Structure 1
Amino acid sequence: MNIVEMSNELAQLVKGENANHNLSVAQLVEKVLERKEGILTSTGAIRATTGAYTGRSPKDKFIVKEQSVKNKIDWGTVNKPISEEAFDKLYSKVISYLKERDEFYIFNGFAGADKRYQLPLQVINEFAWHNLFAQQLFIKENNDSPSTEKPFTIISAPNFKADPEIDGTNSETFIIISFEKRAILIGGTEYAGEMKKSVFSVMNYLLPENNILPMHCSANVGFEGDVALFFGLSGTGKTTLSADPNRRLIGDDEHGWSTSGVFNIEGGCYAKCINLTKEKEPQIFNAIRYGAVLENVVIDDETREADYDDSFYTENTRAAYSLEAIDKVITPSIAGHPQTIVFLTADAFGVLPPISKLSREQAMYHFLSGYTSKLAGTERGITAPEATFSTCFGSPFLPLPATRYANMLGQKIDEHTVQVFLVNTGWTGGEYGVGNRMKLKYTRAMVQAAIEGDLDNIETVKDEVFGLNIPIHVPGVPDDVLQPHLTWSSKEDYLQKASELATKFNNNFKKFAHVSPEIEHLGGPLSK
């Protein structure tokens, strides 16, 4: 099937009588309730459940191996190829499936707050609540300056199941990106986050072509214009720490860094809300109101109040809401160049310092390493924290070789003299199951000190295992908390566990054969 044929097939679908175009939030809420796709909560948000799939399905994600991209994509376990023929056949099946539905929903919007680099989107959903999700997460179409660029189309049909033997997929679920045909095909999963992350993968391919660094990070800006970035995987605190009442939010998860500064790729937030409280995270808590979407959150049958502490469906409970629901947000979501970068890790070993200052070499080492722990529920099969390395803190979403992104970041750190910190939001006083999760109030105090420059000239001590420079004092944090070995009951146990993690770092870094020896030897754990 060529592009013209596919466009004609899509046009017939979009013009069908069962197509609902750009419904308002109120209309979509009515559809969700009418079709029993979800329920209304006490705050006015919609709650939906996603069945067996409560997180991403990375083993079911593919990129079509097309002529224009086959020599650019970093093929492997993350970027798995699928043939054009398989994609075309599956595409036609999904289109035919949607034509037979009584109705489906279309949202037109954008990815990218900077109009110079916006990607037009057309989101086609089998479920009304998925279309409501798209309205919250993507940027709404601006009729004042309609784009002439062909949109990337997302087609999501959760109830359509693939046949792996016939369709060339790994299971009934599929998430497939075609760059030439500008389409994302999703089926077999009700997890709405697949739409969001597929668009991010597309932007991670397109933006570097314009010398823009795409980043898996949150961002905020002080009232004097000072910008901070927070890199980290799901569950490490990007959303929580960027939603600072003393600063304005740029975005909570995905950004581009151009020659002019930072811009949000999205128009909303997708926050984890397990154990959410108004006291700890007021901005997120208050944003969950009419128009927002809650995923897999337990709701009381009578009061319709959310129980954010209950993980009955999954640990990966989520809230999707528009940036407009945040009190202190910058509009449009664009700001200048960052002065501070924070790498967030949830260390399940409990041995990394809660905060450390990084040299340039250490910054590049830890960006390429991307160490964290996958938290329960963020992917299928993850039931407890699992140590992992995710290059650039976002390897599942990087179609290009990792060094392409790392080199771009290194150049920008040098060009703008950015201060970089590594912050451990994971465990302290012992590994997972023994120690405790780092207190949020301590993490907030450390991040605040880093952003406000309080740590620029503070005395530091060097960690004996990882070579990291640990501040000896941070306002609002007990001094002994800053030194990991002091929080363990046995230093011998600490050193053994730290040595285990250091070995994992070193073994993981061996895959970066073309990285400067300076980065490897000056950035990583100290050799014994």
Structure 2
Amino acid sequence: MMTPMTNISLFNLKGKTHVNSTPAELIEHAVGREEAILTANGAVRATTGHFTGRSPKDKFTVNDSSVSDQIDWGAVNQPMAPEKFERIYKRLQQYLLEKELYIFNGFAGADPDHRLPIQVITEYAWHNLFAHQLFIRPSEQELQEHQTAFTVINVPNFKVNPQEDDTNSETLIAVSFTKKLVIIAGTHYAGEMKKSIFSVMNYLLPEQGVLPMHCSANVGKNDDVALFFGLSGTGKTTLSADSERALIGDDEHGWSKKGVFNFEGGCYAKCIGLSEENEPQIWQAIRFGTVLENVILDDTRTPDFHDGTRTENTRAAYPIEYIPNSVIPGIAGTPNVILFLTADAFGVLPPISKLNADQAMYHFLSGYTSKLAGTERGVTEPEATFSTCFGAPFLPRPAHVYAEMLGEKIREHQVQVYLVNTGWTGGPYGTGKRMNLRYTRRMVSAAIEGSLVKESYIADPIFNLQIPTQCEGVPSVLLNPRNTWKDPEAYDMKAKELAGLFHQHFAKFTQASDTIKNAGPKV
């Protein structure tokens, strides 16, 4: 259990507060205050204005003596002077005095031994509904005993001053581990709340021997657990929502000595292109109580999930119990299979390949994928990127801390690891096409069931990967990406280009062993 701390954010508030309101109450307020509108399927739809994704350049961590030698300072973890944060916080307290506020008290972390009691304070009702659905909702008894250990204050209409506050814009996402406080200002994008608490958990849990992970997880009838690592848009939510398996969670988990547990009580699914045929569980979860973000509606207020004119990063936030056969509370045993999901915009990686332990460490540290449109400000089409541990934007500590913990667990439990390309095939973005979801599901199922490990494999000469020669239900020609290109020589050139980017990125991991370094692509 995290050490509780008296909440410091509610002192001297004079305005009206709504504490742990029900979804119906929050929806009533959100619609009545014209923050959101009710859709034809019962969900509420809110728009987030200019910000339709995270603002990583506006994220800061307060650099004080308690954390200064623990944080991996740089572009991801930008330092903020304690006096700067204190000045902003004092202005924020004055701003909040007369405001009508919405307050959620709950938890991050389903395992009682490692959960974090949190409080989320918002000036918008729909933001509090988002927090209610995404974090873990307390029982009546837990609510009575709740003592806040970390507070999130989300105030979109409060702006910081870049000149005075030494920030990059009027937007701010700042965490103080000393004050146990997160301030989110100048952005309406709700995802900043969940990712801020994820970053907090990523700092706190390694001290307890728990590996925090940016992954989804599900479990089969034989208690076999599978993890799906990947950045936003690579398929974590889609592939883990499987009618044949129970969903533990879709985005954030911890791996303790006892097994895996979900950090959250809900799902935050990308829904651009969502269809009932391909993603029936997510489709059916979008109903009363669900928050839709930036989804276009037609004249009857029916969501048009194929319309990305506002943003490709349209989202649906709903409680995990809206997914049939979900695991509540989100706790399960030790993983049997790990799948690293990458949306390869180069179109040269195999749709699935088997990794040994050293290769697993190489690709975990590399975290290759493509940033998909809308997930961050300024991203309008897929961009090749490397996000260490498949979650670099949310890792306060140095990457090797998380990588070493994962490596130990893979070896200790003899976990099977696969690299899955959910991106392009037959050519790069603009020429090729996205992997067929039906085939990806079949390959993932074969990996989890154990049938894929028994197949014969060939070695990829460039990426040093083991490619299966067949997988039931999948055309064999698709398994080797070179065979899907009209011009094999063009494939070779593009593959070597990506291999070079892997080497260039991995050069910074000077602490990695030679066996791990040699497990990557061959140049």
TM-score when normalising by structure 2: 0.98
Match of 2:199, SS?
helix
Residue in 2 that maps onto 1:447: 444
Q: Does structure 2 retain, via aligned residues, the 8 Å contact 1:274–1:308?
A: yes
Residue in 2 that maps onto 1:212: 210
- From 169, 189, 198, the equivalent of 1:191 is 189
Residue 350 of structure 2 is aligned to residue 353 of structure 1: yes
Residue in 2 that maps onto 1:417: 414
Write the distance in 1 (CA, Å) between the matches of 2:359 and 2:88: 45
Residue in 2 that maps onto 1:525: 521
What letter is aligned with 1:394?
G
Write the distance in 1 (CA, Å) between the matches of 2:343 and 2:485: 17
Match of 1:144, SS?
helix
Write the distance in 1 (CA, Å) between the matches of 2:103 and 2:389: 33
How far off is 1:331 after superposition?
Answer: 1.3
Q: Does structure 2 retain, via aligned residues, the 8 Å contact 1:227–1:337?
A: yes
Range that drifts further, 140-149 or 463-472:
140-149
Residue 127 of structure 2 is aligned to residue 130 of structure 1: yes
Share of identical aligned residues, percent? 61
How far off is 1:19 after superposition?
Answer: 1.2
Write the distance in 1 (CA, Å) between the matches of 2:461 and 2:431: 22
- From 493, 496, 501, the equivalent of 1:496 is 493
Structure 2: which 5+ residue stretches go unaligned? none
Q: Does structure 2 retain, via aligned residues, the 8 Å contact 1:345–1:425?
A: yes
Q: Does structure 2 retain, via aligned residues, the 8 Å contact 1:276–1:308?
A: yes
Q: Aligned runs of 1:33-112 on 2, under 5 Å?
A: 33-101=31-99, 103-112=100-109
- From 162, 166, 175, the equivalent of 2:173 is 175
What letter is aligned with 1:220?
N
Q: Does structure 1 retain, via aligned residues, the 8 Å contact 2:14–2:98?
A: no
Cα distance per residue 1:301-346 (max 9 Å; x no partner): 3x11000000121000000000111111011100000000000000
How far off is 1:7 after superposition?
Answer: 6.8
Cα distance per residue 1:108-132 (max 9 Å; x no partner): 0000000111100100001100000
Q: Does structure 1 retain, via aligned residues, the 8 Å contact 2:366–2:388?
A: yes
How far off is 1:150 after superposition?
Answer: 4.0
Residue in 1 that maps onto 2:394: 397
Match of 1:20, SS?
strand
Q: Does structure 1 retain, via aligned residues, the 8 Å contact 2:237–2:250?
A: yes
How far off is 1:17 after superposition?
Answer: 4.1
Cα distance per residue 1:25-53 (max 9 Å; x no partner): 11100100110001001111000000000
Residue in 1 that maps onto 2:334: 337
Cα distance per residue 1:461-485 (max 9 Å; x no partner): 0111101000000011100000101
Residue in 2 that maps onto 1:3: none
Write the distance in 1 (CA, Å) between the matches of 2:14 and 2:442: 55
Q: Does structure 1 retain, via aligned residues, the 8 Å contact 2:110–2:331?
A: yes
How far off is 1:142 after superposition?
Answer: 2.7
Q: Does structure 2 retain, via aligned residues, the 8 Å contact 1:369–1:391?
A: yes
Write the distance in 2 (CA, Å) between the matches of 1:157 and 1:11: 14
Q: Does structure 2 retain, via aligned residues, the 8 Å contact 1:18–1:99?
A: no
Match of 2:412, SS?
helix
Residue in 2 that maps onto 1:386: 383
Aligned length: 518
Q: 1:455 to 1:178 in 2, by over 3 A?
A: same
Residue 294 of structure 2 is aligned to residue 292 of structure 1: no
Cα distance per residue 1:355-375 (max 9 Å; x no partner): 000011110000000000000
Cα distance per residue 1:454-507 (max 9 Å; x no partner): 112210001111010000000111000001010000110000000000000000
Match of 2:345, SS?
coil
Write the distance in 2 (CA, Å) between the matches of 1:330 and 1:174: 35
- Cα RMSD of the aligned pairs, angstroms, is 1.2
- From 8, 20, 23, the equivalent of 1:22 is 20
How far off is 1:144 after superposition?
Answer: 2.6
- From 426, 429, 433, the equivalent of 1:432 is 429
Q: 1:7 to 1:328 in 2, by over 3 A?
A: closer
Q: Does structure 2 retain, via aligned residues, the 8 Å contact 1:249–1:330?
A: yes
What letter is aligned with 2:520?
G
Q: Does structure 1 retain, via aligned residues, the 8 Å contact 2:105–2:148?
A: no
Write the distance in 2 (CA, Å) between the matches of 1:520 and 1:17: 58
What letter is aligned with 1:319?
A
How far off is 1:169 after superposition?
Answer: 1.2
Structure 1: which 5+ residue stretches go unaligned? 1-5
What letter is aligned with 1:45?
A
Cα distance per residue 1:70-101 (max 9 Å; x no partner): 01001011000001111111112122112232
Q: Does structure 2 retain, via aligned residues, the 8 Å contact 1:120–1:147?
A: no
Residue 343 of structure 2 is aligned to residue 362 of structure 1: no
Write the distance in 1 (CA, Å) between the matches of 2:6 and 2:419: 47
Residue 509 of structure 2 is aligned to residue 512 of structure 1: yes
Residue 304 of structure 2 is aligned to residue 307 of structure 1: yes
Match of 2:452, SS?
coil
